[in-house]
Amino acid sequence: MRGMSLLLSVGAAVLAGSAPAYAAWQPQKPIEFVATAGPGGGTDNLARAVQNIITKYKLTEQPIVVVNKGGGSGAEGYVYGKASAGDPYKVIFGTSNAWQQPLVSKVAFNYTDLTPIAAMAQDEFLLWVKQDAPYKTAGDYLKAAASGEFKMGGAQSKDTDEVLTRMIEKVGHVKLTYIPFKSGAEAAVQLAGGHLDSHVNNPSESLGQWRGGTQRPLCVFSPKHLPQGPKITATEGWSDVPTCVEQGLDIKQYEQPRTVWLPGKVSPEQAAYYVDLMKKVQATPEWKDYIEKTSQVDTFLTGAEFDKFIKEDLDHVRQVASEQGWLVK
């Protein structure tokens, strides 16, 4: 799957490179990349990595400027995208909160106000505990959690981390106290200090902590082991982390896509231009380097595939949110 999409994108890049007539629409003025996160956040890093690759390979004649609009957990950027309807010079970089946030809080946008371009990378989730915690598997963790109320940390409220926490509660028949922090990095430090019992960070958010021996992953919420990579600690790498299903925590798959959008009401040619541009970006060695260093999984969903992904995720989150009573009235 991964190899195939890569092949496809390389093919597309070659095609587009050799036949300029293929692209019906070309940008005529500077392009603005809107990162729905503050400087230094995962989404910001993605936007800047893409900007860097486009500039390096001169994939467009026009200059690209990255603008941070991370206020309101990203809502600022999406609202801005909604307000720029019809403007093909604003590219919005976000996550799944483009469709999740409107479900649970009264923000003035919905993902339908935007034109989906692609989902470019998937961040995995893992269940982390403190290094010296007595449990070795997710099963042990659930047993211990059943007898005492565990504190689970995560980034933001009613967002991906809390949704996953509530899923664990339901599947594992336990009760967890969820404590929201501003970011996953903050939750990781709180776990290292022993103020929390666990969190569900992405690999990149806790990599340094794992290597430093303050915390370790119990399992990954993925159908199969993560791809082989360099060892993180003396003995283990990402591929050695068992899946949660193997350990008796029956959540097969939970991932956070990095998504790219245009404002609403742009023409199909304009959207096609950016789909193509992102495919070219993905075919570069710099992109692979970025994916590896941030421990993400390379994917490329666009068009009907992307729509289907959104629909499925939305149904799922809506179910969790309605069970928790989070849905906005």
Partner 1 sequence: MISRRALELATAILTGSFGVAVVVQSLDNGIGWSSAGVEAGTFPFLTGVIIVAGSLYNLVRGVVPTASLANVPVAITSIELRRLAGLFVPAAIFVAAIPLLGMYVASAAYVFAVLAIPRHQSLLHSAVTAAATALALYVVFERMFQVSLPHGALAAALGF
Partner 2 sequence: MDNLSELLHGFTIAVTVPHLALMATGVLLGILVGVLPGLGAPNGVSLLLPLTFGMQPVSAIILLSSMYWGALFGGSVTSILFNIPGEPSSVATTFDGYPMARDGRPTTALATAFGSAAFGALVGVILITFLASWVAQVALAFGPPEYFAVYFLAFASFVGMGGAAPIKTVVALAIGFAIAAIGIDTVSGSVRLTMGIDELVKGVNFVVAVMGLFGIGELLVAVEEEFHARAVSSKIDWREVFRAVGRLPRHGVALLRSAAIGCWMGITPGGPTAASFMSYGIARRFSRRGRYFGTGEVEGIISPETADHAAGTSALLPMLSLGIPGSATAAVMMGGLMIWGLNPGPMLFVDQKDFVWGLIASMYVGNIVAVALVLLTVPVFAALMRIPFVVIAPLIVIICVVGAYSVSNSYLDVVIMLGFGIVGYLFKKLFYPLAPLVLAIVIGDKAEDAFRQSMLMSKGSLGIFFANKLVTCLVVAGIALLLLPLVLQLARPFRKNAAPATETPAQEKVII
Residues that bind partner 1 (CB under 8 A): 30, 32, 63, 65-67
Q: Which of 208, 223, 268, 303 binds partner 2 (CB under 8 A)?
A: 208
In whole angstroms, give the CA distance from residue 231 to residue 20: 43
User: What burial class does residue 81 get, using C-beta atoms within 10 Å of its C-beta: 0-12 exposed, 13-18 middle, 19+ buried?
Assistant: buried
The interface partner of residue 212, options being partner 1, partner 2, none and the CB cut-off 5 to 8 Å by kind, is partner 2
In whole angstroms, give the CA distance from residue 311 to residue 95: 15
In whole angstroms, give the CA distance from residue 168 to residue 154: 13
Q: Which of 60, 110, 137, 157 binds partner 2 (CB under 8 A)?
A: 157
Question: Do the beta carbons of residue 125 and residue 254 sit within 8 Å?
Answer: yes
CA proximity to 23, closest of 285, 276, 305, 214:
276
The two tokens of residue 15 are 């095609």
Does residue 51 bind partner 2 (CB under 8 A)? yes
Q: Which of 87, 169, 186, 246 binds partner 2 (CB under 8 A)?
A: 186
Does residue 105 bind partner 2 (CB under 8 A)? yes
Cβ neighbour number for residue 175 with a 10 Å cutoff: 11
What DSSP line would sit under 78-109, residue for residue? Answer: HHHHHHTTT-TTEEEEE-THHHHHHHHS--S-
Cβ neighbors of 296 (< 8 A, separation 6 or more) are 121, 122, 123, 124, 202, 203, 204, 258
Q: How far is the CB of 48 from partner 2 (least distance, A)?
A: 6
Q: How far is the CB of 250 from partner 2 (least distance, A)?
A: 27
Question: Do the beta carbons of residue 176 and residue 165 sit within 8 Å?
Answer: yes
Q: Which of 31, 48, 141, 160 binds partner 2 (CB under 8 A)?
A: 48
Does residue 95 bind partner 2 (CB under 8 A)? no
Q: How far is the CB of 196 from partner 2 (least distance, A)?
A: 8
Name the residue nearer to partner 1 (CB basis): 65 or 108: 65
Interface residues for partner 2 in 241-270 (CB under 8 A)? none
Segment interacting with partner 2 (CB under 8 A) among 64-72, 239-247, 255-263, 300-308:
64-72
153's enclosing H/E stretch is strand 150-155
Does residue 175 bind partner 2 (CB under 8 A)? no
Name the residue nearer to partner 1 (CB basis): 32 or 140: 32
Q: Which residues bind partner 2 (CB under 8 A)?
A: 38-41, 44-45, 48-49, 51-52, 55, 66-69, 71-73, 75-76, 79-80, 83, 104-109, 151, 156-159, 177-182, 185-186, 188-190, 192-195, 204, 207-209, 211-214, 290, 293-294
